[in-house]
Amino acid sequence: EEHGWAHWAFAPLRLAHALLAALCPSCGLPDEAAVPPP
């Protein structure tokens, strides 16, 4: 599988981001905050 590496390469990052968001939503950068409001 050509893109098999992407799963184990990014899974920990996504897991860490989800964990951080769960523990401290204001500490991380939620997807909504990534885009400035108009």
Cα separation, 16 vs 12, in Å, equals: 6
Which pLDDT value is given to residue 34?
A: 55
Confidence tier at 2 by pLDDT (50, 70, 90): low
Which pLDDT value is given to residue 37?
A: 57
Cα separation, 32 vs 35, in Å, equals: 6
Q: Please state, in angstroms and as integers, the Cα–Cα distance from residue 16 to each residue in 5, 20, 24, 38, following that order.
A: 18, 6, 12, 29
> Across residues 10-35, what is the average pLDDT?
75
Q: Reply yes or no on whether the pLDDT at 4 is more than 60.
A: yes
Which pLDDT value is given to residue 38?
A: 66
Confidence tier at 21 by pLDDT (50, 70, 90): confident
